[in-house]
Structure 1
Amino acid sequence: MHQILCSTGALIGRPNGRDYRLLKQFCPRLECDGFEFMLYSTWYDQIEQLTTFLKSIQLNIPVMHCEKSLSEHISIGGDEELREAFRLFEINCSVAEAAGAEKMVFHLWNGIISDSNFENNLRAYSELRERAEKHGLTLLVENVICNGTDPMTHWVELYQHYPEIRFVFDTKMADFHRQLELLYEPEYDWLWKEKHILHYHVNDYGGGYKDWSNLKVLPMGKGHIDFERFFRFVRETGYAGDFTFEATGFDKTGTVNIRNLNEQFALARKYLNQV
């Protein structure tokens, strides 16, 4: 049974002070099945309070999104940077375990440095996976946008080195590189036939090929991605996992538009239930 998840990053951000306590106010009003909890770097000094809060509100959090910038330490390289990356990753894993998550979404490369030193990211993967597994987590590498090459090229290289690797496929990230269509191509059917994709991020995109001026994550239907085709294909592959919606749900004042988010969830269920 598919679960429709909402990213907590869609609910809390800079305009509302990244106040995770707002989840207690917003989440009960959302008609989703659970949440993908995203950790912000500004929370590292309050991890104990954060985990206590998450336990208290008892949300269904099957997936956690690792704090994004820690992978920049990996890309930079060197023993000191790598130690810092693993230290921060352990914190993320501890939060995920406390929240009851089973999967960890990870940006193996990130930021301006991106994939410019991909050999560093490639080498670090096995250690990251082992650490995640010790916390009962399945590590999922996301097809994050690249400054250098492209996400699918890196996925293939990772698969060649680590045949057991698992991924999360983001529709917006793929379309940014004009690689969404690759999901449907026989050349890449190993992604779903061998069950390497264990999660999907459902986000729209309105820009062109590597259009850095249009990076904004859009709600489904506000860009040009054909989601009816996407959901039909994913359904036909026999995928039984979950979907996370990440498009920003708050405005410049930090006010969350609950209705718009619920409409997204309803539309996704409509596509998933089509025969």
Structure 2
Amino acid sequence: MDRAELAGFLRSRRERIDPAEVGLAVGPRRRTPGLRREEVAHLAFISNEYYTRLEQARAPRPSREVLAGLARALRLTDAEREHLHLLAGAPPAPVPGPSREVRQSILDLVHRLPLSAAFVTSATLEVLAWNDLAAALMEDFSVLSRRGRNLARRAFLGPRPAGRRLYGVSDVDAFARHAARRLRTAAARYPEDPEVAGLIRELRSGSEEFARLWDSHDVDGHPTLRKTFQHPVVGPVTVDCDALDVTDRDQQVVIYTAVPGSPSEEALRLLSVIGTERRDAAR
């Protein structure tokens, strides 16, 4: 435990927080920036005396529970949380589960891409955010529950009318392998998360294909660079596929674009106008 560095780190994080951000009044008696020590102690559910001793580099090593409370009270990022644990001499516990919070800058990016179908997936392939063209090309995710927005569940357990499995994409078998590999990585990264474990159990019991892929223990794969959707209104749409990793959230931004001047670009342009209504009526 590096008491001096820990004290300085806590003090710097405390002083950067606007009291209004945590619901505290900003009165005229505040002479220094940030939160008071007693306010941090209250938010972290620890005694004011103990927190004061931490900032004075006189306290014994804090427990994991105390560190979790401090990380929450001081609104630490994942990197700051890890640094806090290292200073305290207590390696951080595994992150409890995949992040579902999408950064505002990523949301802005998804909605500003012209003539591109874009969406964000979690470590377990749950669709967390999407733009209008992605909804028109694939599915209106806004009317689905969290459960229904999981692409792995859609691939292995979803409806399978002729030609419409997983939106009729040409690479459905390759995506199935990708989904199994991605979930295996998630299971290793979040071993204590009940949602990850529950999803894998559900897929193993409900899909022989997933069980076979899971039991193969494959973790390597090759990205799909191009695929074709069989759309019920505009017909086949061939798109280039790019996936951008958001490493600090363990998420991916998936972007589908068509070759400029191609019939598929015209199809995407039409979909951007008609949206999801005619597609849903055609099913």
TM-score with structure 2 length normalisation? 0.27
Q: Relative CO higher for 1 or 2, CA cutoff 8 Å, sep ≥ 6?
A: 1
| TM-score, reference length from structure 1 | 0.27
